[in-house]
Amino acid sequence: MTSALGAERAPDADDLAAHGVSWDLLPLLDGAADVDALLDSADAIAAELVASGRGHIAAMSPSELAAFHRRYAELIELLGRAGSYASLRFSADTVDPANGALVAHVEERGTAINTQLLFIELEWAEATDAHVDAVLSNPDHQLDFIRHHLRAARRYTPHLLSESEERILTEKSITGAGAFGRLFDELSSAMEISLEQPDGTRQTLPLANGLALLQHPDRGVRQQAHAAVTAGLQPGLRTRAFVFNTLLNDKSVDDRLRSYPTWITSRNLANEAGDASVQALVDAVVGRYDIPHRWYALKAKILGLPVIADYDRMASVASTEAQVPWSVATEVVMDAYSSFSGELAGVVQRFLREDWIDAPNRLGKRPGAFCAYTVPSHHPYVLLNWTSRTRDVATLAHELGHGVHGYLSREQGVFQMSTPLTLAETASVFGETVTSKRLLGMITDPNERLALLAATLEDSIATVFRQIAMNRFEHAVHTGRRNDGELAVEHINDLWAQTQTDMLGPSVEITEGYRTWWSYIPHFMHTPGYVYAYAYGQLLALSVYRRYEEVGESFVPRYLDLLRAGGSMSPEDLGRIVDCDLADPNFWVGGLAIVDEQLTAAEEAAVAAGRV
């Protein structure tokens, strides 16, 4: 293989497939015989907390709150270890019924334990403003590990129900939204595609393989992959639509009971973002749909087509497609992180060497990629579905960005380790950008340079514009479900096609098959409203990277401070660490200008390569 991703070599099949790159989950049990031992310990602590805390939370002194929450943190750690062990086992193999049963068992026991502790949040919400201000303004550092957590928890006060009502909702959640979410995972993990091989035989592969082939430079291969994915989505489509309708209705009921004015308000509240500020982000991105429109018009010219089809939008503009061995990909990513920070590179090296990653793509494995933070006393894990494509290198860099963020923020403890979703993508996009910039500096061939610039731009389009288009789809389905009742599959398809067309523009033809492709996206089912956080995070991360380019090496310690801070501050305060004013409405305009610059660079590279 000759590529910017490595010197010429003959990769073996195991290296191409990342064979043997699997995680070791046993340390999550922390020496316990099984998850029940962890859950038994958590149950015992819950009884202590009930005895010492019920009826007292609203009047506790700073020292009493600190002592209570330190013990509470031990319980959360135990539940987190058990839950992470079960869910990660299930993600790696959704076919084994024992894994699904373990997830259900942990969820049931964990819910029973957490139900006993609903009084904590409810009693804290009942505390007087004067008492809360006195407690949280106390300069003693003993509350630092929960100070922002306690302050942020008060924002839910208008939306909490009585303890008996909260208990019912909590206990029923595992047979309601939680059960339907798991059903969707099992249905989607079982999706398969059938692809014709060069010898005329057909091979059954995971859905991820078909999606990866949409980047292939050969249009015939992309058409075949598109047809295979569409066919693979047909079985169970109406069942998945029913699952979606049920989850839409479940959220509608929950929002009504909690007096949330819109379908997105609860997500915004969780993200510590106001409805108006989020709408400003959405409006700013929709207002620059000209960027993807321009790119896809240019891409049609590069590909020599009057218009491109939806299955062409991810096509590589490279003349050939290189397969990337796992060993080469890890070298590139390590080199990129090392060029920025030796400390971050050291953490990345631990992921790669210490069984913290499950990489191979296999049947029954949960699709996509993610990083699970687990608990502060342990380390994060990364799941990939490695298909040896160039895009997979960016995905690896992206998920390792999450990994180093989660690793460094562990010092904040269980209450403040995780950021709101709006900042959750900052480190991942930053790591991906560092990797792309590093690769760009290695390339001299005009066509290869165009291919990388195009891939970088398309990442931004996918993360900013496509995610906002999906937000517009979510807005349409949530609003439609609330106003019109259960949505027919065909109507959901129409809403998906329309919101995608708005973003892709006149140079992209939406095929009939693509109209059902909403039905494999897990975020719609598991985390309603999540997707705009990708756009938020991408624009923030690009702005953060711009500050790094402007400031240089002196920026690195501040960036590491941002990662270590986790969720111990509001998003606005976290942004200030790296000189980003998230409260400024023009902030999004600046981030979008950076994407526009990426487009201009790709346009110039296309001319230099003689492709237009």
The pLDDT tens digits of the residues spanning 215-255 come to: 888 999 999 999 999 999 999 999 999 999 999 999 999 99
Do residues 362 and 206 make contact, with C-beta atoms less than 8 angstroms apart?
yes
Could you tell me the pLDDT band of residue 208, with boundaries at 50, 70 and 90? Answer: confident
State residue 2's pLDDT score.
Answer: 40
> Residue 9 pLDDT more than 70?
no
Distances in Å between the Cα of 490 and the Cα atoms of 244, 495, 515, 572 are 13, 9, 9, 41
Helices (H), 234-274: 237-257, 265-270
- For residue 360, the cross-strand partners are 386
Cβ burial of 330 (10 Å; 0-12, 13-18, 19+) is: buried
Instruction: Select the more confidently predicted residue: 581 or 492.
Output: 492
pLDDT (mean) for 93-102: 95
Q: Are 590 and 579 contacting, i.e. CB atoms less than 8 angstroms apart?
A: no
User: Which tokens go with 585?
Assistant: 């409405």
What angle do helix axes 390-408 and 326-340 make, rounded to 10 degrees? 50
Helix (H, G, I), strand (E, B) or coil at 386: strand
- Least confident segment among 4-18, 112-126, 427-441, 504-518: 4-18
Q: What pLDDT score was predicted for residue 5?
A: 56
Q: Which of 156, 151, 142, 129 is nearest to 573 (CA)?
A: 151
What pLDDT score does 610 carry? 93
Q: Indicate if the pLDDT at residue 467 is higher than 60.
A: yes
Instruction: Say which residue, 2 or 146, is predicted with more confidence.
Output: 146
Per the CB < 8 A criterion, the answer to whether 110 and 82 are in contact is yes
Task: Compute the CA torsion angle 100, 101, 103, 107 (nearest 10 deg).
Answer: 140
The contacts of residue 317 (CB under 8 Å, 6+ apart) are 217, 299, 302, 303, 450, 451, 454, 606, 611
For 187-213, what is the HEC assignment?
Answer: HHHCCEEEEECCCCCEEEEEHHHHHHH
- Percentage of the chain beyond pLDDT 70 is 98
> What backbone torsions phi and psi does residue 371 show, to the nearest 5 degrees?
-120, 130
Query: How many residues are there in the chain?
Result: 612
Q: Which alpha helices (H) appear in 237-356, and where do they start and end?
A: 237-257, 265-270, 275-286, 290-303, 326-340, 342-353
pTM (2 d.p.): 0.81
Mean pLDDT of 51-68: 97
- Tell whether the model's pLDDT for residue 319 goes beyond 60: yes
The answer, yes or no, to whether residue 468 has pLDDT greater than 70, is yes
Give the burial string for 574-584 (b: 16+ CB within 10 Å, else e): bbebbebebee
Average pLDDT over residues 597-607: 95
Report residue 172 as tokens: 């029923």
Q: Please tell me the distance from the alpha carbon of residue 531 to that of residue 472, in angstroms, as a whole number.
A: 10
What is the Cα 557 distance to its own chain's centre?
25
CA distance 179 to 494: 27
Q: Are 214 and 314 in contact (CB under 8 A)?
A: yes
Task: Encode burial over 399-432: b for 16+ CB neighbours within 10 A, e otherwise.
Answer: bbbbbbbbbbbbebbbbbbbbbbbbbbbbbbbbb
**Mean pLDDT along residues 505-518:** 97
Quickly count: other Cβ atoms within 10 Å of residue 87's Cβ: 19
**Is 361 in contact with 389 (CB distance < 8 Å)?**
no
What are 136-171's pLDDT values in tens digits? 999 989 999 999 999 999 999 999 999 999 999 999
Distance of CA 174 to CAs 34, 112, 229, 240, 554, Å? 22, 10, 31, 18, 48
For residue 429, pLDDT beyond 90: no
- Show the domains of the chain with their CATH numbers: 32-160 (1.20.140)
Mean pLDDT of the chain: 93
pLDDT at 33 over 50: yes
Per-residue pLDDT at 599: 97
Query: What is the pLDDT confidence band of residue 1, given thresholds at 50, 70 and 90?
Result: very low
Alpha-carbon gap, residue 508 to 313, rounded angstroms = 8
Per-residue confidence (pLDDT) for residue 10, from 0 to 100: 66
CA angle 368–370–373, rounded 5-degree value: 165
Confidence of residue 4 (pLDDT cuts 50, 70, 90): low
Taking phi over 0 as left and psi of -120 to 50 as alpha, with beta for the rest, 134 belongs to alpha
Q: Mapping DSSP to helix (H, G, I), strand (E, B) and coil, where does residue 61 land?
A: coil
